[in-house]
Amino acid sequence: MNGYDITANFGPDPEAAIADSAKRFSNWNRWGADDALGTVNLLDAAKRAAAAGLVRRGDSFSLSLPFDEDGPQFGWKRRVNPVRVMTSTGMDTAEQMGLPHGLSVADDSVFMPLQCSTQWDGLGHVFDHGVAWNGRVAREVVTSEGDFATGIEHLAAPVVGRGVLLDVGRALGDDGELPDGCPITSADLEETIRRQGETSRVGRGDIVLVRTGQLARVRRRLAAGEGWGSYAGGPAPGLSFETAGWLHSSEIAALATDTWGAEVRPNEWPGAMQPLHQVALPHIGLLLGEMWDLDGLAADCAEDGVYEFLLAAQPLPFTRAVGSPVNPVAVK
């Protein structure tokens, strides 16, 4: 897996490679000029109804990290961990609150960047030379007041369907994990599908989850008292830029990984910054999820040999937001 050379296949210039892939894999106007869903359009009512039939045992798995002050953020791009405070507690009496018949309540509030933990990147999160999803001018549709074209609230209902786990770490890695900096190619995804079997076949409208195993490695550091390290921004295994064609041709609705950036870090060209995002979000229209906890689900899939499930992964409908925290739940 580590032998893939991006420059041998795409040349030394990431900007040229991005431009070529953007043109070849564009979904602009596929669902109309006013589209706000991108590839989530491929996840229709029939797909959701079929996904409901995948539930056999009724066992559910939360795929979210905890949202607390001990989370993975270290301040990059002003991203911090959630700050939650109690606004009233069990120490407040009914008399203090002015409530009748002995009633008192507890409340709390939270401050957090919307992409500080398990989350979706919305379609308004990344631009290509100032152009947003579907060919819109970014400065006109994503302003200081938010994303007026593809705000995350548009995805509050439809992101429920067939989830498919591609456990590349377990299939192709050492001891269930890929090393940091390891690019995952289309061939690696296909080989993982072959090894896992028929239930991991990827089809139109699926939500694909790629497990690299990096989070399991980070958990060992946490258990040893070493902290999160650079999990929320440092080196990581992830998708190669080369997978843009696979992501487009497979017609999946969305993709999520157990890493911070979904694509391999450092990126494959020296000095590049998330080139796959630059194609996937504004051109393919593909919803990207990051920092998902796939370990428990992966262990269950490995045990019973079934890698498909009902997945509910709706973002919180923050109006005009370009991303959202999510508590994805897989049901088998």
Q: Which two structure tokens, joined as six digits, stand for 132?
A: 């947003």
Give me the CATH number covering residue 270.
3.50.30.50
pLDDT at 245: 98
Are residues 238 and 151 part of one domain?
A: yes
186 and 123 both lie in a single domain: yes
Q: What tokens were used for 137?
A: 């001018």
Q: Are residues 94 and 177 in the same domain?
A: no
Mean pLDDT of 294-310: 98
Distance set, CA 149 to CA 42, 190, 276, 314, 320 (Å): 19, 35, 22, 18, 8
pLDDT for 207 beyond 80: yes
Both 89 and 234 in one domain: the answer is no
Is the pLDDT score of 1 beyond 70?
no
Q: What is the pLDDT of residue 2?
A: 61
- Element of type H or E holding 80: none
The answer to whether position 57 is within a domain reads yes
State the chain's mean pLDDT as an integer: 96
Q: Is residue 105 part of a domain?
A: yes
Question: Is the same domain home to 261 and 327?
Answer: yes
Same domain, 259 and 121: yes
The answer to whether position 204 is within a domain reads yes
Give residue 68's Cα distance to chain centre: 19
- Considering the domain architecture, whether residues 34 and 130 belong to the same structural domain is answered as yes
- CA angle 62–301–315, rounded 5-degree value: 30
Domain shared by 99 and 229, yes or no: no
Does 258 share its domain with 300? Answer: yes
What is the C-alpha to C-alpha distance for residues 42 and 154, in angstroms, rounded to an integer?
15
Report pLDDT digits (tens) over 85-118: 999 988 887 788 888 998 889 999 999 999 999 9
Is residue 1 assigned to a domain?
A: no
211 and 94 share a domain?
no
pLDDT digit string (tens) for 235-266? 999 999 999 999 999 999 999 999 999 999 99
User: Is residue 61 a part of any domain in this protein?
Assistant: yes
Q: Same structural domain for residues 121 and 205?
A: yes
Whether 148 maps to a domain, the answer reads yes
Token pair listed for 93: 């009496």
104 is in which domain, residue-wise? 82-113
Q: What's the pLDDT score for residue 93?
A: 79
Average pLDDT score over residue span 270-278: 97
Q: What is the pTM of this model?
A: 0.96
Number of domains in the chain: 2
